[in-house]
Amino acid sequence: MVEQSARLSPILKQATPVLATRGEGAYIFDEDERRYLDFTAGIGVTSTGHCHPKVVAAAQQQVATLIHGQYTTVMHRPLLRLTERLGSVLPPGLDRLFYVNSGSEAVEAALRLARHATGRQNAIVFQGSFHGRTMGAASLTTSGTKIRAGIGPLMPGVAISAFPYAYRLGMSEEQATDFALRELDYLLATTSSPKDTAAIFIEPMLGEGGYVPAPPAFLEGLRERADRHGILLVLDEVQTGFGRTGRFWGHDHAGIRPDVVITAKGLASGFPLSAIAAPSELMERAWPGSQGGTYGGNAVSCAAALATLDVIEEEGLVDNAATMGARLQKALSQVADEHPVIGDVRGMGLLVGNEFTTPDGAPDTATATRAHQAAADRGLLLLTCGAYGNVVRMIPPLIVTGEQVDAAVEIWAEAVAAATS
């Protein structure tokens, strides 16, 4: 069992019993130099692998030059260069950026921007979504009551609509999409008037809520309603952005145009950095001085983000995510065929979930937990997600190789067999 400090708050729950001393590519090493295949990537962050030499070199160089150029005091080159560079990967028209440090802060920033830009207050979110833990972001979050319980009253003006979670609903993807769009129309007619609704927040794929991709037709339906009612469509790409899904942005699979994109995690290979991007006409309606932060757009983080973009491009990581994601999903489906306790395998690129279900269709959290732990014991680090913790998810770095995918699946098959024997 890993060493713990009695001084650490018990609020923190650690998913795997590992004390990491170093990371290299797709691997984490502990103090005894035991090697773990890391299919968590620090919750979808270290997309270029642990300590990619180019990211390390860029960060080291920046650390020795300027660590903290506070962006409301002085401007610095890494932030300017990153801003120009992001222009080549952001959806067309989203030409203005604002930087903070974490996904939650960026969600808060998008929420404030939406309220300032529209003069409306309400936000619509979808059941099972995760947008963060700060009070505004937690108010938008319904991935599990543990995030919300006991901290209210939460922010008013949040209306929650159904997500097309086809497997849970026992519907086809088309039926679930149809159902969820009708529910949204009903919500706009009964609960949150379009006149009061500033924004619709959506993850292209439910992340913490269970790794459920939003069908393209659902995202198209949201775009259509946002246009019809003058509501902003905010894509939370914190977990799905930067190539993770096999396209640069998760919403690229649907080909829709977002009004605001939120990005974090894979943006800077592990350095704290997040951003929102929006068109000038929206950003110009934000009230000057209404947002900022001491550490936002940190120079070392920006340098790491620039190197991350280089690595993604030079090593073809978006395509690799698509190829390796397909290989992983196919192999995991074969494991599921042999173990009916895994009722559904789904995902986009290198975001893949295995949902555990009892024979009568209830969430099987106990078996999922055992499989997750059995995998860690065998050297494969994974995470769980979903409201019931019954989805075991795999988020390897985008540099993952075919051999590593196959090795992970082999361990997974053994772990599931152990968990069900």
- Runs of H (alpha helix) within 87-233: 103-118, 135-139, 145-148, 166-169, 173-190, 216-229
Contact 211, 40 (CB under 8 A): no
Q: Say how many CA atoms lie within 13 Å of 114 toward its Cβ.
A: 31
Structural element, H or E, at residue 330: helix 317-338
Q: With respect to ligand PMP, which residue has the nearer C-beta, 208 or 364? A: 208
Nearer to ligand PMP, 128 or 207 (CB): 207
Q: Which is nearer to ligand PMP, 146 or 228 (CB)?
A: 146
Kindly tell me which of 132 and 353 has the beta carbon lying closer to ligand PMP: 132
Closest separation between CB of residue 393 and ligand PMP, Å?
11
Contact 369, 354 (CB under 8 A): no
CB of 134 to ligand PMP, least distance (A): 7
Instruction: Please count the residues of the chain.
Output: 421
**Closer of 132 and 221 to ligand PMP (Cβ):** 132
Q: Per rule CB under 6 A, is residue 163 in the interface with ligand PMP?
A: no
Nearer to ligand PMP, 102 or 367 (CB): 102
Cβ contact 185:176 at 8 Å? no
State which of positions 125-154 bind ligand PMP (CB under 6 A): 130-132
| 25 is an interface residue for ligand PMP by CB under 6 A | no
Among 208, 259, 344, 355, binds ligand PMP (CB under 6 A): 208
- 227-266 footprint of ligand PMP as x/- string (CB under 6 A): ---------x-xx------------------------x--
Contact code string over 351-390 relative to ligand PMP, x by CB under 6 A: ----------------------------------------
The H or E element spanning position 356 is strand 351-356
Q: Is 149 exposed, middle or buried (0-12, 13-18, 19+ CB in 10 A)?
A: exposed
**In angstroms, rounded to a whole number, what is the distance separating the alpha carbons of residues 27 and 247?**
24
Query: Which residue in 15, 20, 43, 217 binds ligand PMP (CB under 6 A)?
Result: 43
Cβ neighbors of 237 (< 8 A, separation 6 or more) are: 203, 204, 249, 250, 251, 261, 262, 263
Q: Which of residues 98-127 bind ligand PMP (CB under 6 A)?
A: 102-104, 107
Q: How many whole angstroms separate alpha carbon 204 and alpha carbon 419?
A: 31
CB of 264 to ligand PMP, least distance (A): 5
Task: Give the N- to C-terminal CA distance of the chain in Å, as an integer.
Answer: 24
Which is nearer to ligand PMP, 370 or 393 (by Cβ)?
393
* Structure tokens, 99: 């930087």
Taking the complex as a whole, the smallest distance from the CB of residue 211 to ligand PMP amounts, in Å, to 11
Q: Which is nearer to ligand PMP, 42 or 343 (CB)?
A: 42
Residue nearest to ligand PMP (CB): 103
Q: Please, where are the H alpha helices in 191-294?
A: 216-229, 280-283
Kindly report the CA angle at 348 between 345 and 351, in degrees rounded to 5?
75
Kindly tell me which residue out of 23, 164, 207, 266 binds ligand PMP, with binding defined by CB under 6 A: 207
Q: How far is the CB of 106 from ligand PMP (least distance, A)?
A: 7
Strands (E), 207-326: 212-213, 232-236, 260-263, 274-278
In the complex, the residues that contact ligand PMP under the rule CB under 6 A are 43, 102-104, 107, 130-132, 203, 207-208, 236, 238-239, 264
